[in-house]
Each structure stands twice: as structure tokens, then as C-alpha cells.
């Protein structure tokens, strides 16, 4: 089995795209995800669509390493979303050869959310990208079941992004995940974490943004999670940490992350 592994930008969010790409390539990854929009006040985004020099350097790094861009992220779908204003981001994704654009649900009106997601999906498809909706337990779309309803309403070409952490924290069903159409799950995010009986919103956010663990080193049932996904689905490793292993180089940290993932996959499938 050949499993495609990409590196989500949040794992090393302080690394500009060229630095991230070169370190990921040295660590043995096949692809990267790039965060083109700032998501929180205390974490950066890299708006390549507004910086021709940075775009040139990023494309040069991709050519030099042979890595591809799995996805660009992420678009918050809010009641005030300006879809025409987001088209340059989609254009940048197309220029980078990205396959997907990640969206996030921040509109309480789920009918309107699905409608806006459908419009974004059409715009992305025109540029060779697939729009995927990621669910988060602290949002109006908190789990797999709710996400599937919105994605179905958005149209036949919209996908879902299932993250192991949010899947576990939301109590989503592995049986439901296994029953979803494979074409709606183009890739997944993988990480590990400690498991508690319940979580506050603050704990959910902190772990998601700063305290994840390498796959196979925590308490999430990742064997079951991976087993419920479509066979050989590409995996994006999203493992942000704070205050750990920072004495090591970025390449060394990413190499250890990839190695831990391969060890887990060997447990699941017998080979990575």
C-alpha cells in the first residue's frame, strides 16, 4: 500500500511556505497544505495571492522539491462572507496546483451555510479545486452527522474533511464514517491526543491549536478511525504543539512525526 502523506501548515504555522515546503520534503512528505488566510489573531496566514514575490518563492520551492500542494486553507463561512473577495485566494490555489480548499462552518443558519458552500464549491471547481467542509465541536456544525447534512445540501461535488481530533471530541460514529461515499472524503487530517470524559470549549480550542500528539502516541482510537476511512485515503498530518521539541530542527521534528505515522499505519494495514 502506498499512502500519500501531507503536512498541514498548522503543524509548523510559523514557517513561511518555502521554509515549510523544504523541511517537509527533507522529512519525506509528499505534499503540504498552505494557510493563505489568517485564522486567529495570534497565528499567521500567508496571503500569497497578494504577494507576487512570496508566490514566486513558493512555486520555486515546489519545483525544487517535487512536492505538491494538497490544500489551501481556510475559508470561514460566516453570514458576512464575501465570496467575490475570496476568488483571488482560489486563483492562487490553482496557480499552486492545489487540489482542495478547506472551509469552516461559522453560520448558525445551516440552509444559508449550505447555499454559500455550494457557491464556493462551484467557484473552486472552475479552478480545478474541490471545496471541503471541516466540522468543529465548538461551531454550528459540531460533528460528522451535521457536516454530512450540510455537505449533501451544498451539492454533489462538495467534500468533507474529517479530522481525527474533532471526530473523537464530537463523539462521531465510526460506522457512519465508514458508510459515507468515498468520493466525498478526498483526504483526512490525522493526529493524536489525550482523551478526557468531557471537554470545555477552552480545552477543545487549546488542544486543537497547540497541544496535539503524533499519531499513535496518544489515546484516540486511530486504528478504528483509519479503518473507517476510504482505503488508501491521503492523510494530512496536523499536529501543532507548543513548548515541546523546539530544541530540535523543524526537519527533525517533521521526520519524527512522519515516522510515528508510518508506524501506526503499519499497525493498521501491515505496511505503510
Handedness of CA 90, 109, 157, 119 (dihedral sign): negative
Average pLDDT, the chain: 95
Residue appearing with cell numbers 502506498: 2
- Say how far apart CA 165 and CA 195 lie, in whole Å: 10
Ordered mean pLDDT values, 10 residues apiece, the chain (272 residues): 89 97 98 96 95 98 98 97 98 98 98 98 98 98 98 97 98 98 98 97 96 97 97 96 73 97 89 46
Q: What is the pLDDT of residue 227?
A: 96
Burial class (CB within 10 angstroms; exposed 0-12, middle 13-18, buried 19+) of 94: middle
Q: What is the pLDDT of residue 93?
A: 98
Q: What is the pLDDT of residue 272?
A: 44
- Say how far apart CA 265 and CA 272 lie, in whole Å: 5
Q: What is the pLDDT of residue 244?
A: 56
Evaluate whether 98 touches 115 at the Cβ level (below 8 Å).
no
Q: What is the pLDDT of residue 247?
A: 76
| In the chain, where the domains are located | 5-269
Q: In what helix (H) or strand (E) does residue 105 lie, and over which residues does it extend?
A: strand 100-105
- Say how far apart CA 272 and CA 267 lie, in whole Å: 9
Q: What is the pLDDT of residue 269?
A: 76
Q: Which three cell numbers stand for residue 155?
A: 451539492
Q: Which three cell numbers stand for residue 161?
A: 474533511
- Domain 5-269 belongs to what architecture? Alpha-Beta Barrel (3.20)
Amino acid at each position: 500500500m502506498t499512502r500519500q502523506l501531507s503536512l498541514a501548515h498548522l503543524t509548523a504555522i510559523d514557517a513561511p511556505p518555502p521554509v515549510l515546503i523544504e523541511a517537509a520534503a527533507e522529512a519525506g512528505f509528499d505534499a503540504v497544505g498552505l494557510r493563505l488566510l489568517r485564522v486567529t489573531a495570534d497565528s499567521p496566514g500567508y496571503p500569497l495571492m497578494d504577494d507576487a514575490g512570496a508566490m514566486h518563492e513558493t512555486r520555486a520551492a515546489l519545483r525544487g522539491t517535487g512536492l505538491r500542494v494538497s490544500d489551501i486553507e481556510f475559508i470561514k463561512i460566516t453570514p458576512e462572507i464575501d465570496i467575490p473577495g475570496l476568488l483571488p485566494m482560489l486563483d492562487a490555489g490553482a496557480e499552486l496546483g492545489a487540489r482542495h480548499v478547506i472551509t469552516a462552518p461559522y453560520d448558525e443558519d445551516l440552509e444559508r451555510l449550505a447555499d454559500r458552500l455550494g457557491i464556493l464549491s462551484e467557484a473552486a471547481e472552475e479552478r480545478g479545486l474541490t471545496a471541503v467542509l471541516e466540522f468543529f465541536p465548538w461551531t454550528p456544525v459540531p460533528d460528522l452527522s451535521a457536516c454530512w447534512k450540510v455537505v449533501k445540501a451544498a451539492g454533489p461535488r462538495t467534500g468533507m474533511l474529517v479530522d481525527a481530533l474533532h471526530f473523537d471530541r464530537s463523539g462521531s460514529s465510526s460506522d457512519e464514517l465508514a458508510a459515507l461515499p468515498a468520493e466525498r472524503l478526498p483526504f483526512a487530517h490525522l493526529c493524536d491526543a489525550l482523551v478526557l470524559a468531557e471537554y470545555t470549549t477552552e480545552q477543545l480550542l487549546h488542544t486543537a491549536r497547540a497541544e496535539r500528539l503524533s499519531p499513535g502516541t496518544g489515546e484516540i482510537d486511530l486504528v478504528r478511525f483509519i479503518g473507517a476511512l476510504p482505503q488508501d485515503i491521503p492523510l494530512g498530518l496536523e499536529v501543532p504543539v507548543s513548548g515541546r521539541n523546539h530544541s530540535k530542527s523543524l526537519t527533525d521534528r517533521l521526520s519524527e512525526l512522519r515516522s510515528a505515522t508510518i508506524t501506526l499505519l503499519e499497525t493498521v494495514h501491515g505496511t505503510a
